[in-house]
Amino acid sequence: MTAIKAKAFAKLNLTLEVLGKRNDGFHEISSIMQTISLADHIEVTAARELSLECDLPSLNNNENLAMRAACLLRESLEIRDGAHIRISKEIPLAAGLGGGSSDAVVVLRLLRRLWAVELTDTDLLKMVAEIGSDLPFFVNGGTAIVQGKGERVRQIPNNKSTVFVVVVPELNMQDKTKGMYSKLELGDFTSGGLSRKLEARIRGGGDIPDQLLHNAFQEVLLRTVPSVRKSYEALQAVGREEIHLTGSGPALFSRVSSQDSGRAIQLLLQYRHGENSFVVESTPGNCSPE
């Protein structure tokens, strides 16, 4: 059978507010998320067994979120067919860009088609919430407000096309997200008001004012992680005044006026400052299989 292929888009958190700690040990968040054009490439083909192949050796195992999602789908629906999953990575690992979560959801979408199973998007939302907090957003992608611990997703009409420069500092931290949450202090918590205001702004067809963009982890990372501070200062050195963190980091982003402007900034970041960067634009959501 010919391989079924699709892109798995990365995301940016335009806001990421942490409201406080929940009784279940997780944190309550309110976040406006946006899918962007940076993407991994996924393909699945029919096979006797279920297997995964990734071009990054460290992800070529059964702990890969995509493999965990595939196993959950197969077991929960008692499917006997297999599949070979191939992932080609473009999204940097553990950067706050959601690559692993996006891969997992796209694999489920492709397997749903390959195995011809009755599984609605609502069913998919319930299933992926068991695997990770970022996954429910990627069921539809686009622009959405995400609340709770990530399981409550409300779609927003797609934000106007926006171009960003994304810089990915080096950061090696075990259990990064858990570690970053442990560093938050009471003063880092907010009410969710910035996310509500930005949602209203986007729904009204307005632009994205930088004063509404906020990330609870940004000041923590700038204070405690030298590589993030270095990348932040590199962005400042090439003229970027409004710089924002995505997820729990370490990736930073800044809006630019056009692709050409973004590429000029990317070259400066690369050759003057040695920074790993990308020029991306907002996308309307996870695409259909090719």
Kindly provide the residue ranges of all beta strands, DSSP E only, lying in 90-187, ordered along the sequence. 143-148, 152-156, 163-167
- Distance, CA of 90 to CA of 14 (rounded, Å): 21
- Distance, CA of 185 to CA of 180 (rounded, Å): 11
Q: Is 13 helix (H, G, I), strand (E, B) or coil?
A: strand
Q: Would you call 11 a catalytic residue per the annotation?
A: yes
Q: Is 206 helix (H, G, I), strand (E, B) or coil?
A: coil
Of 5, 7, 11, 197, the catalytic one is: 11
Q: Residues for the chain: how many in total?
A: 290
- Distance, CA of 58 to CA of 47 (rounded, Å): 23
Among residues 197, 95, 198, the alpha carbon closest in space to that of 143 is found at 198
- Distance, CA of 153 to CA of 131 (rounded, Å): 16
Of 7, 89, 103, 134, the catalytic one is: 134
Matching residue, tokens 């996924």: 42
User: Which residues are part of the catalytic machinery?
Assistant: 11, 134
